Amino acid sequence: MKKYFIFLCCLSIFYTSFAQISTDSLEYRIRPDSLKTGELQLSVQSFNFMRNYEYFNKIQDGYTLFGTQLEPQLVYYAHPRLAVMAGVHLQKDFGDEGFYRTLPLFSVKYQNGNTTLINGVLEGNIHHRMAEPLFDFEKRITEPVEYGTQFILKNTSLFLDAFINWKRMIYKPSTVQEQVLGGLSADFKIMKNSKIDLSIPVQLTVFHQGGQIDIDPEPLQTLVNTALGFKLKIPLSGVLNAIRTENYLMGFNDFSFTDVQAFSKGRGWYLNTGIDTHYGSLMGTYWNGMSFISSNGMPLYQSVSQHINYPGYTEKNRKLIMLRYSYQKQLIPNLYLDFRFEPYMDLGRPAGTRKIEFSNSSFLVYKQSFKLLKPKTDR
């Protein structure tokens, strides 16, 4: 009871958070550059991760991900608007022998003004900037490479990311079904000045599993998730850098011809408020989900269990409160530290059985490009 009281007090004090923790230091985007035309560069990204879940519920497992990823790529700036890239993704999980994952990286990026067209390896996972119930942050570790086509538009009033992630290709005859994930993540800037930053985020994912050249008897599935919300930031001076709030109404619909999922439609409120300080960010999160399922969202928010010991278990109504602390810092040029501590409580449990469970993460990211070949200049 004492821990419950302390947790609620902390949440109430800071309940004014900028929803999700910032992922700016983890993003890495390479773009065509007119000043680099003709150059060949080596791009290196090292992503070192430790993500630990001290969870003891029936919805999401408790486990630890601990290891490192390395992505060396050759980048040829073929034209002021075109970059061609090729490399390899390597993942080493600590405590296991050899490499856990080795994937080829090929992509073509065309940029014209504020628009970018990408084919091959996408700027995926966290780069889509989606809310956790729709797109799990952990996919930065578990599904780090996405292949497909992507269109990005970014200017002072709009960020738009539309993509098709071809998750599973099949060949005739296949014993499994193809899997495709389409998505749209947009943020419309309504107002931004020295006193206020207000925007409207709109998000959509469509997951399809099926195909016509497989012999899998399972029925096809088409799952759609949506999110509509608003984000507000009020800059401050002094110890507090800003107050933020980010809130969403989320939806789920199963458009499959045959009912396979435990629920055919659902919804959820994802409410966040908090503060940014010189010592990190502190935020509170409230989740109220009803029959909510997401094909790529964090399992904790869903009404259907993904727990190894409780397959098929459901909780129609999920109510959670979280208190999150995060700290991001650039240690030296090109090297970034990201630390997170995220306790939560399940309000759906009877009062006497409620416990504080938590996850903690630390990431060390190095990203830099090295010039290998300069273009020849006419004398």
CATH of the domain at 307: 2.40.160
pLDDT over threshold 50, residue 298: yes
Banded model confidence at residue 3, pLDDT cuts 50, 70, 90: very low
Structural domain containing residue 177: 2-25+115-361
* Mean pLDDT, residues 78-95: 98
Q: CB neighbours of 37 closer than 8 A, spacing ≥ 6? A: 77, 78, 79, 80, 375
Number of H helices, E strands in the chain: 2, 16
Token representation of residue 339? 């630390």
Residue 103 lies in a domain: no
Using CA atoms, how far apart are residues 221 and 258, in angstroms rounded to an integer? Answer: 8
Residue pair 292/307 in contact by the 8 Å Cβ criterion: no
- pLDDT for 376 equals 73
Number of structural domains (the chain) is 1
Using CA atoms, how far apart are residues 68 and 91, in angstroms rounded to an integer? Answer: 6
Banded model confidence at residue 193, pLDDT cuts 50, 70, 90: very high
Using CA atoms, how far apart are residues 108 and 76, in angstroms rounded to an integer? Answer: 10
Nearest to 131 by CA among 265, 274, 293, 271: 271
Residue 374 lies in a domain: no
With a pLDDT cut of 90, the percent of the chain lying above it is: 88
- pLDDT for 22 equals 66
Residue 246 lies in a domain: yes
Nearest to 146 by CA among 162, 170, 122: 122
Residue 35 lies in a domain: no
* Mean pLDDT, residues 328-337: 95
* Mean pLDDT, residues 154-183: 96
Mean per-residue pLDDT of the chain: 92
Residue 51 lies in a domain: no
Residue 208 lies in a domain: yes
Q: What is the pLDDT of residues 237-291, one digit of tens each?
A: 888 999 999 999 999 999 999 999 999 999 999 999 999 999 999 999 999 999 9
- pLDDT for 377 equals 66
pLDDT over threshold 80, residue 135: yes
Q: Which of 10-19, 20-29, 136-145, 294-303 has the lowest mean pLDDT?
A: 10-19
Residue pair 205/134 in contact by the 8 Å Cβ criterion: yes
Indicate the pairing of strand 115-121 with strand 64-79. unpaired
Tell me the pTM. Answer: 0.90
Q: What is the pLDDT of residues 5-63, one digit of tens each?
A: 444 344 433 333 334 666 777 899 999 999 999 999 999 999 999 999 999 999 999 99
- pLDDT for 21 equals 67
Using CA atoms, how far apart are residues 369 and 46, in angstroms rounded to an integer? Answer: 12
pLDDT over threshold 50, residue 231: yes
Nearest to 334 by CA among 362, 370, 367: 367
Residue 309 lies in a domain: yes
Q: Which of 73-87, 104-118, 208-222, 284-298 has the lowest mean pLDDT?
A: 208-222
pLDDT over threshold 80, residue 134: yes
* Mean pLDDT, residues 193-200: 94
Q: How many CB atoms lie within 10 A of CB 246?
A: 23
Residue 244 lies in a domain: yes
